[in-house]
A and B are shown apart, each in its own frame.
Chain A
Amino acid sequence: MRRRRFHLSIWESLVNRLAPSVPQLDTGDPITAAVWNRFVYAAGFHLRAPSALLYQTISQSVASTTPTRIVFDSAVRDTEGGHDPAVNASRYTIKTAGTYLVTIVAAMQSYTPPGGEESLAIIVNGGVFWAIHILPRDPQMTNTWFSCTAEIPLQVGDYVEGQLWQDSGQAQDVPSAFSQPAAWMGLHWVGV
């Protein structure tokens, strides 16, 4: 029997969406309202899957040799309410389990002396690195721009962050003086 009961409360549909699952039917099974509605739900879910696009408008300092989470104070969208700019603003917390495409872009000022490293990473649950981009630190560049992309399987409650790191011996800023935000993080549910 491949059919499964499907009860989706209004609360669940708004706060903690479930990944869709349209059942296969056996011979003689009717296409009931419940089965049809699961298809309707699935179509809506796939067209508007859990998604967020966060960005930073306030300059942030990155201390030397200190892993620093990027603080996102604003959001273009956040379909599931996974980001709270007032509490743990660096985090996007997963509300719907699945596999997510995560991208991060960030800039950081470059200072002397040359040598050493600077990096941007995508980190899950405070410690698991899913993507990282390390560059040789070169003060000939006023700012260094990085980007990272990863496809990440995530459970409800997992949280995703961006991390900057540098070893110049002094604090470097994520600058806010550009005509655009200096840090973005996008997440999109792409499958189970």
Chain B
Amino acid sequence: MSAPLLPAAATVTGTTVFSKDLWNNGPAALDQWLGDPPRAILAQTVAQSIPNNTDTPVAFDQAVYDNHDGRNAAGTAWVAPAAGVYLVAATSNLAWTGASGCFVGNHLAVVGKTTWAAVELPASPGPVRFQFSLAALIPMAAGDGVQLRIYQNSGAAQPTGFITSACRLSARWIAL
């Protein structure tokens, strides 16, 4: 799928005759873009092992929708098809059997660039699972990939879980 281009309505002069192209590339294209910009909701349906002491990208095996096929082959990143500011939100799910004195973190990060949102909490006293909700406005170039990453340092691997809600990630272009 080719990269989408933000509509750019042409400026007209006093004698310009309105044509279908002016209309289709202007008002019609702009409305289409505003109602359905590059966007995705990804979900995880298969448990994933999060190793000890490694900030690990969540692998999303399912796309609730992904109108420009931005999910990469491994499901570990959603790749922006067009430049812009994206609203990115995520919910995580990590089963927990670790001891006290550890901590758990979630990060929304652009691969090779910046971490834009983070939650890091001591796992003491520890619940049976951790679920965090985090969101950020993230400027991305076309081709940038955004990830939800989970970190834990329990000393052993911990699995992602599915009680109440599995891990989810949404991304939506909202502005240049």
A residues lining the B interface (CB < 8 Å): 19-29, 31, 35, 39, 42, 46, 99, 101, 103, 114-117, 119, 121, 129-138, 147-151, 153, 190-192
Q: Taking A25-B23, A129-B165, A132-B164 as contacts, is the C-beta distance between A147 and B133 under 8 angstroms?
A: yes
- Cα distance A31–B168 when bound, in Å? 43
Residue of A at shortest CB range from B26?
A39
Q: Which of B34, B122, B124, B132 contacts A46 (CB 8 A)?
A: B34
What is the CA–CA distance of A47 and B120 in the complex, to the nearest angstrom? 37
| Residues in chain A near residue B41, CB distance under 8 A | 151, 153
Residue B85 interfacial (CB < 8 Å)? no
How many chain B residues sit at the interface, stated as a range, is 35 or more
Q: Which A residues are CB-close (under 8 A) to B168?
A: 130-131, 150
* Chain A residues in 8 Å Cβ range of B36: 191-192
List, sorted by A's number, 12 A–B pairs whose CB atoms are closer than 8 Å.
Answer: A19-B35, A22-B30, A22-B31, A28-B20, A31-B23, A116-B125, A133-B133, A136-B121, A136-B124, A151-B172, A190-B87, A192-B35
From the candidates B27, B31, B91, B135, name the one contacting A132 in the complex (CB within 8 A). B91
Report the tally of A-B residue pairs with Cβ distances under 8 A.
118
A149 touches B135 (CB 8 A): yes
Q: Is the CB of B31 within 8 A of A119?
A: no
In the bound complex, how far is the Cα of B135 from the Cα of A164, in angstroms? 20
The reply to whether B20 and A191 contact each other, CB–CB distance below 8 Å, is: no
- Tell me whether A131 and B91 are in contact in the complex, defined as CB-CB below 8 angstroms, given that A115-B125, A191-B37, A191-B39 are known contacts: yes
Given A21-B31, A132-B164, is A31 in contact with B124 using a C-beta cutoff of 8 Å? no
Question: Is B157 an interface residue when CB atoms closer than 8 A count as contact?
Answer: no
Chain B 136-176 interface 0/1 with A at a Cβ cutoff of 8 Å (1 = within): 00000000000000000000000000001100101010100
A42 to B64, CA, bound (A): 26
Whether a CB of chain A sits under 8 angstroms from the CB of B123 is yes
Q: Which residues of A contact B121 (CB under 8 A)?
A: 135-136
B116 near A: Cβ within 8 Å?
no
Q: Give bound CA distance, A191 to B122, whole Å.
A: 37
Interface pair A137/B31, CB less than 8 Å apart: no
